[in-house]
Amino acid sequence: MTRSLALSTLDPADLDQVDAAVRFIRTHDSTRVLAALVPDLTEAQRVAVAAHCRLAHAAVLVFPPDLAALDEALAAHRVTARPPMPSVVVRQRLAARHGLPAAELPVSIVRAGIPAADGTPCEVEIFALVDGPAQVAAAERDAAHENHVALATGPIDTVTLTGLRALLTGPGRMGSDGGGYNEHENSTVLYFAGTGHAREAHRRLELFVAGHHPEVLAAHLAETTDPATRLLRLLTGAWATQALAATADLGIADRLAAAPGSAATDLARHTGTDPDALARLLRYLADLDVVRPAGDGWALTDVGAPLATTAERSLRPLARLYGGYFYESFAELGYSVRTGRTAFDHHFGQHHFDYFAAEPDRAAMFDDAMAAGAAMFGRVGKLLDCAGANTVVDVGGGNGELLAGVLQANPQLRGVLFERAVTLEQARPGLRAAGLLERCDLVPGDFTTTVPGGGDIYLLSRVLHDWDDEQCATILRRCANAMPAHADLYIVERLLPETGTGSLAPAWDLHMLCNVGGRERSYDHYGTLLAAAGLKLVGQRRLPLDFALLHVVHG
């Protein structure tokens, strides 16, 4: 059968869909599909998924004049369709999407066997709505909502299925995109929407599971939202920022930490807030998973706990900063994108370092926020190679929080905290309280002009991302000149992912553009900057909050 015969009975757009699905199966296998549709999974994670799943089919939705037209289109590829079966899931999805009764959308499933690239038996799966409403056909051909690639698994237990789904929606960064149970085949289908590099027409993944799995299906459907709803949630992200800042700033988190289960009226009395307004805030915070109902009152969740001042690793200063000065300047992000210049400088009239240093209250807020972030790196001291080392120099080390952790983990070391004079004075009480002041030299200075020499270990924590490449090169040359030949340099920074792997770094890269004038960088980018300064990047270790500890030596 020739393509011209198929063209005479099947709409050209539908014929292209069928042809594309056949080609996809013949050029892919399970490994290639997972790499294309779920690129954010690590190799080990893809192996784990492939151990339970096989490539089953590529699916398209078409609108033929009759089912014989599909037989003709498939015959052109020398494959034969099996008898059609009624569709349940796609019919329901079409009905919901277009506001039509499902009974008016008699969707059939037509399948034909085709070997995958590795010879594995697979199928092309064609959902066919014969003589469907013209407006439905036009919309679906344009959007290709139902086109997908399927992995099959089962029989399988609920725990394993839950784990597979968690891999795809967690590290795989795929979103739940509906699903259902087809009683005609006794099968459960879970749809996932992804951003892989396969053809746009096959950007969705189906997990086809033998048997009925109502609990997993219910959990999957509960997380399914349409694109407009997802976009609306993104658009309200600024509201979440302000809700968290208010929770920290008004003492709400502190009260809930001190008295879990506090009723809204009691909480309002202790925080000086309006009872009705506070109740509405708490309801939104519960939606954000920051608080939870506790009896007749409320308590902080694990997510909300760091908003309290008394938390072991409190992020309250960050919440206040992000919801205050940085929130204001982020409103000018468009200026930064248009000009490439810093919105903070444009909005406040000064670079943020100068602006915060100009007033003691502002300086204290900024230094507290930086210290809150540094407190997350307590394990750094145990990751450093301190064999034979005597002195560690923290370049631009803020209030000394990171240096204190390194000294506590390595009692044989002395420390040098190199910072602005005003910041050193704020660091002194904390180092004294930790019993470390006698082991530290507090050296004032500017790391863009000089760095103390004679150290065995040098630290640059969250310094380089504040600067452009030219200034970074200057700072790194200062460090290289100060470091003895045997010395090690350790850099703490977020790394931009080399692939699509999920990371906080892209968001902070935008923050650096808008508020600071610096940027986040990839591992290779740092390697290039270091090499230009006569230094060599030799490895990295992962840290909390998507940070990395980079190990650097003389080149």
Contact 420, 353 (CB under 8 A): no
For 346, counting Cβ atoms within 10 Å of its Cβ (0-12 exposed, 13-18 middle, 19+ buried), the class is: middle
What residue has token string 């809700």? 243
**391-395 and 204-210 strand pairing:** unpaired
Rounded-to-integer distance, Cα 447 and Cα 452, Å: 9
**H helices of 288-420, where?**
316-322, 325-330, 333-339, 343-348, 352-358, 360-374, 380-383, 401-409
SS (H, E, C) 147-169: CEEEEEECCCCHHHHHHHHHHHH
The string over 447-470, giving b where at least 16 C-beta atoms fall within 10 Å of a residue's C-beta and e elsewhere, is: beeebbeebbbbbbbbbbbbbeee
Inter-CA distances, 53 with 150, 157, 163, 411, Å: 9, 13, 13, 52
- According to DSSP, the residues that pair with 115 across neighbouring strands are 121
Asked if residues 88 and 105 have their Cβ atoms less than 8 Å apart, the reply is no
Query: Checking phi first, is residue 428 left (phi over 0); if not, alpha (psi -120 to 50) or beta?
Result: alpha
Token reading at 408: 């506590």
Q: Residue 30, Cβ neighbours under 10 Å: how many?
A: 21
- Tokens 């996932």 locate to 192
Phi, psi (rounded to 5 degrees) for 180: 175, -175
H-helix segments, 170-236: 214-222, 227-235
State how far the Cα of 243 lies from the Cα of 280, in Å rounded to an integer: 11
Distance of CA 501 to the CA centre of its chain: 8
Determine the Cα–Cα distance for residues 30 and 36; give it in Å rounded to an integer: 10
* 454, amino acid identity: G
Residue bearing tokens 């967690």: 170
* Active site (annotated) includes residue 551: no
Residue 312 φ then ψ, to 5°: -60, -40
Count of CB atoms situated within 10 Å of the CB of 287:
11
- Paired strand residues for 297: 294
Torsion of CA 392, 396, 400, 404, to 10 degrees: -30
Which residue among 145, 202, 220, 465 is the active-site one? 465
CA atoms within 13 A on the CB side of 34: 26
By annotation, the residues acting in catalysis are 465
